[in-house]
Structure 1
Amino acid sequence: MPSQHSNGSTRSGSPLSRRAFTTAVATGAATAAVGAPAAAAAGTASEEVAKERPFRAARGRHSRRPNILFILGDDLGWADLSSYGAPHIRTPNLDRLGRQGVRFTDAYSGSATCSPTRFSLYTGRYPGRTEGGLAEPIADRSVGLDPTHPTLASLLRGVGYSTALIGKWHCGYLPDHSPVKSGWDEFFGNFGGALEYYSKLGLDGEYDLYEGDATYKDLRYYTRVLTERASEFVLRGHDKPWLLNLNFTTPHWPWIADGDTEASAEIVRRIKAGDGRALWHADGGSVRKYTEMVEDLDRSVGEVLKALKRSGQEEDTLVVFASDNGGERFSYNWPLSGNKSSLQEGGIRVPSVLRWPARVDGHQVSDLPVFSPDWTATLLELGGARPDPAHPLDGVSLAGYLLRDEAPKERDLFWRVRGERALRRGDWKYYRGRNGADQLFNLADDQREQADRAAAEPKRLAELRASWERTNSGLLPYPAVS
Structure 2
Amino acid sequence: MSSVDPAHPSRPARPSVPEKSDTSARSALSRRSFGGLAGGVGAAAAVGGLAAAGAPSAAAAEVPGFAERPFHATPGRRSRRPNILFILGDDLGWADLSSYGSPDIRTPHLDRLARQGVRFTQAYAGSATCSPTRFSLYTGRYPGRTEGGLAEPIADKSAGLAPDHPTLASLLRGAGYATALIGKWHCGYLPDYSPTKSGWDTFFGNFGGALEYYSKLGLAGEYDLYEGDAEYKDLRYYTRIITERAVDYVTGRAEAEAGTRTDRPWLLNLNFTTPHWPWIADGDREESAKIVRRIKAGEPGALWHQDGGSLAKYREMVEDLDRSIGEVLAALRRSGQEEDTLVFFASDNGGERWSYNWPLSGNKASLQEGGIRVPTIVRWPSRLAGGQVSHEPVFTPDWTATLLEIAGARPDRAYPLDGTSLAGYLLRGERLAERDLFWRVRGERALRRGDWKYYRGKDGKDRLFDVTNDPREQADKAADEKQLLGRLRAAWEAVDGTLLAYPEK
Q: Give the TM-score normalised by structure 1.
A: 0.91
Q: What residue number does 2:414 align with?
A: 390
Report if the CA contact (8 A) 1:52-1:365 is conserved: no
Counterpart AA for 1:47: E
Distance 2:417 2:74 in 1: 26
- State yes or no: 1:67 paired with 2:51: no
The Cα of 1:27 is off from its aligned counterpart by: 7.8
Counterpart AA for 1:23: A
Call closer, same or farther: CA 1:479–1:194 in 2, change over 3 Å.
same
Distance 1:288 1:173 in 2: 34
SS in 2 for 1:274: coil
Counterpart AA for 1:376: T
Distance 2:208 2:278 in 1: 14
- State yes or no: 1:183 paired with 2:186: no
SS in 2 for 1:253: coil
- State yes or no: 1:302 paired with 2:326: yes
Q: What residue number does 1:35 align with?
A: none
- Which residue, 373, 394, 413 being the options, matches 2:437? 413
Q: What residue number does 2:7 align with?
A: 23
Distance 2:206 2:457 in 1: 33
Q: What residue number does 2:393 align with?
A: 369
Report if the CA contact (8 A) 1:72-1:247 is conserved: yes
- Over the aligned positions, Cα root-mean-square deviation in angstroms equals 2.1
Distance 1:297 1:281 in 2: 19
Q: What residue number does 1:134 align with?
A: 150
The Cα of 1:63 is off from its aligned counterpart by: 2.2
SS in 1 for 2:448: strand
Q: What residue number does 1:101 align with?
A: 117
Q: What residue number does 2:308 align with?
A: 284
Report if the CA contact (8 A) 1:62-1:358 is conserved: no
Counterpart AA for 1:374: D
Report if the CA contact (8 A) 2:7-2:59 is conserved: no
The Cα of 1:444 is off from its aligned counterpart by: 1.6
Deviations 1:360-405 (A, max 9, x none): 0000000011100001000000111000000000011000001100
Alignment of 1:48-447 (within 5 A): 48=63, 51-53=66-68, 63-236=79-252, 237-239=255-257, 240-447=264-471
Report if the CA contact (8 A) 2:117-2:385 is conserved: yes
Report if the CA contact (8 A) 1:27-1:46 is conserved: no
Distance 2:310 2:185 in 1: 27
Deviations 1:37-73 (A, max 9, x none): xxxxxx9985337945499896967520000000000
Distance 1:57 1:150 in 2: 38
Call closer, same or farther: CA 1:59–1:375 in 2, change over 3 Å.
farther
Report if the CA contact (8 A) 2:114-2:378 is conserved: yes
The Cα of 1:142 is off from its aligned counterpart by: 1.5
SS in 2 for 1:95: helix
Q: Give the TM-score normalised by structure 2.
A: 0.87
Call closer, same or farther: CA 1:55–1:105 in 2, change over 3 Å.
farther
Aligned residues: 452
The Cα of 1:162 is off from its aligned counterpart by: 0.2
SS in 1 for 2:294: helix
Distance 1:332 1:86 in 2: 7
Call closer, same or farther: CA 1:44–1:462 in 2, change over 3 Å.
closer
Distance 1:106 1:281 in 2: 31
SS in 1 for 2:275: coil
Call closer, same or farther: CA 1:27–1:116 in 2, change over 3 Å.
farther
Please list every run of at least 4 consecutive aligned residues from structure 1 whose deviation after the TM superposition is greater than 6 angstroms.
54-61
Counterpart AA for 2:173: R
The Cα of 1:276 is off from its aligned counterpart by: 2.3
Call closer, same or farther: CA 1:26–1:169 in 2, change over 3 Å.
farther
The Cα of 1:445 is off from its aligned counterpart by: 1.3
Distance 2:60 2:285 in 1: 33
- The share of aligned pairs that are identical, in percent, is 75
The Cα of 1:112 is off from its aligned counterpart by: 0.1
Q: What residue number does 1:10 align with?
A: none
SS in 2 for 1:167: strand
Counterpart AA for 2:157: R
Deviations 1:132-176 (A, max 9, x none): 000000012011000000000000000100000000000000000
Report if the CA contact (8 A) 2:95-2:357 is conserved: yes
The Cα of 1:479 is off from its aligned counterpart by: 0.3
